[in-house]
Structure 1
């Protein structure tokens, strides 16, 4: 049954006047008559006794009114609640987060800077491993993720925005002879203690490099870290050679150094969202991230 017709019925019960109901509903009087006739035909019961001068609700019409009136109120209350929830969701940004020194430093700065411009926006952080992040952004449970371009090549419905482009480097303790080299070949890691990241946390780019090193160097001594925070502890503890990007590990302690690797693929660090994410605040947040990073590059 049409909601507008039910509203016309309720109004006519309350005004007992076709002219006033037509005016209140912003329709013509014949339209009011048509709507009431349609309701009576549908329910199969007479709801009004009409004369040229008056409209009187029948006993059945009054019983129908008492049942319908709260239903209509509940309907509009539900619509308002949903609209409020939708408005609230549009002012909420959920960031998919995996710990890296880069994320740990920059994400809070982005949030703080954005809220200076849009104080009504609320942020939520969802901490997940690398594979879980991809699953959750595809299901629209999170709005943005920082990852690498290659890592999302197999994902559909994704938009990406490049933040940084650079090659992989080795993070080498300075007491290791490899720290003195200007460029490391893939064969240089034979018999070295290596720090690798578990595949659930590593981006596709890093997985490919780790696999290539294992294929070439059969005598490496590998320690796997099951997440990035654990890897960072092992790196700082100088427990072996790690593989990284300058943008992810911008600050090394004095006993560590970067050495470039002779590994051709460049890595694009990107912020991603889904093509179906229609939140204006998400687009604005991504624009801020891009501008914020460009400003930092200028200042370096």
Structure 2
């Protein structure tokens, strides 16, 4: 028994006339009769009572018609599920993101745009440090990652099997107390900060985070406090305990009127949000996700980039914030 036989039987049962059923199915009447007879032989039961003048359903045929319709409907549904999965419209996608990306608003904007095109795809969201995301991408545990990286940091490279789309870039800013003497300046020269107490953000790789601050400033700062939270960092600046280097995205954080943000002169390092993924072997769901974010205009004032805009490495990637 196959789906074709079920379709032939349903048409015949609904028409109760072999000629009309054959015309509806676009086949010859003898071929239809052969298929119905073969179905009855397979089931070992008579489905239709035939005479020269009429066709009627047997009791078994009436019950079988209900189940045949259900089976055909389920088969059609299964086929549509497969087609939608092939177009990336349903399924599940495992997404990693770093806490910095969620603070910046890029994650919410990206997912909002994607949900417009694929509302039935299930999202598996995992808050992970960028270096953990890189490892899990290589292992296949997540499929895409939203990673905060430092533009202009020569140490950061991606493994060669990973690719990237740059979604946004922000310049670094100096956060300082609103009543600080330097707050009156429109731009802060780095040399003016040599004697300032600094509050530093440190992630899972403390030495590298310290090195990046030094690279940004051009000297080793006098760090008086370290914190693992951007919110805590800005709060400590607002309390007057020091100044801090922060991404431009952090400048939206409000601590009353106690913190101001100023650009640094001579700084070329920026913070970016990159969408990282495997170069090959993408599922239709991932391909659609990437296609959506390549063409979306959700990121407004950022500087959208092209794929392969981040250097590759032949060794393990360095950790970054």
Question: How far, CA to CA, are the matches of 2:245 and 2:288 in structure 1?
Answer: 36
Given candidates 236, 242, 246, the residue that maps to 2:238 is 236
- Residues 160 and 284 (structure 1), Cα distance of their counterparts in 2 relative to 1, 3 Å cut: closer
- Residues 27 and 154 (structure 1), Cα distance of their counterparts in 2 relative to 1, 3 Å cut: farther
> Does the alignment pair 1:182 with 2:182?
no
Match of 1:298 in 2: none
Question: How far, CA to CA, are the matches of 2:101 and 2:237 in structure 1?
Answer: 12
Given candidates 296, 306, 310, the residue that maps to 1:287 is 296
Contact 2:110 2:293 (8 Å CA) reproduced: no
Gaps of 5+ in 2: 305-321
1:185-221: CA deviations, max 9, x gaps? 9xx68x954332433xxxx8x973325669x979844
- Residues 26 and 129 (structure 1), Cα distance of their counterparts in 2 relative to 1, 3 Å cut: same
Q: Which residues in structure 2 correspond to 1:40-189 (within 5 Å)?
A: 40-50=40-50, 54-73=54-73, 98=99, 103-104=104-105, 129-131=127-129, 134=133, 139=142, 145=146, 147-148=148-149, 153=158, 159-164=164-169, 166=171, 171=175, 174=180, 182-183=189-190
Contact 1:171 1:256 (8 Å CA) reproduced: yes
Question: Which protein has greater RCO, CA pairs closer than 8 Å, 6+ apart?
Answer: 2
Mean Cα deviation higher: 125-134 or 267-276: 125-134
Question: How far, CA to CA, are the matches of 2:208 and 2:263 in structure 1?
Answer: 20
Gaps of 5+ in 1: 296-300
Question: How far, CA to CA, are the matches of 1:13 and 1:270 in structure 2?
Answer: 61
Question: How far, CA to CA, are the matches of 1:70 and 1:39 in structure 2?
Answer: 17
Contact 2:98 2:129 (8 Å CA) reproduced: no
Contact 1:146 1:270 (8 Å CA) reproduced: yes
Given candidates 227, 230, 244, the residue that maps to 1:224 is 227
Contact 2:230 2:250 (8 Å CA) reproduced: no
Corresponding residue pairs, total: 272
CA shift for structure 1 position 8? 1.8
CA shift for structure 1 position 9? 1.1
Question: How far, CA to CA, are the matches of 1:78 and 1:97 in structure 2?
Answer: 37
Match of 2:6 in 1: 6
CA RMSD of aligned residues (A): 5.8
Q: Report the 3-state secondary structure (helix = DSSP H, G, I; strand = E; otherwise coil) of the residue aligned with 1:289.
A: coil
CA shift for structure 1 position 175? 5.8
Match of 2:251 in 1: 249
- Residues 181 and 290 (structure 1), Cα distance of their counterparts in 2 relative to 1, 3 Å cut: closer
1:39-67: CA deviations, max 9, x gaps? 33443444345556544444433342344
Question: How far, CA to CA, are the matches of 1:219 and 1:149 in structure 2?
Answer: 22
TM-score (norm 2): 0.54
Q: Report the 3-state secondary structure (helix = DSSP H, G, I; strand = E; otherwise coil) of the residue aligned with 1:69.
A: helix
TM-score (norm 1): 0.57
Contact 1:10 1:69 (8 Å CA) reproduced: yes
Mean Cα deviation higher: 18-27 or 49-58: 49-58
CA shift for structure 1 position 81? 9.1
Question: How far, CA to CA, are the matches of 1:24 and 1:149 in structure 2?
Answer: 66
Question: How far, CA to CA, are the matches of 2:34 and 2:162 in structure 1?
Answer: 48
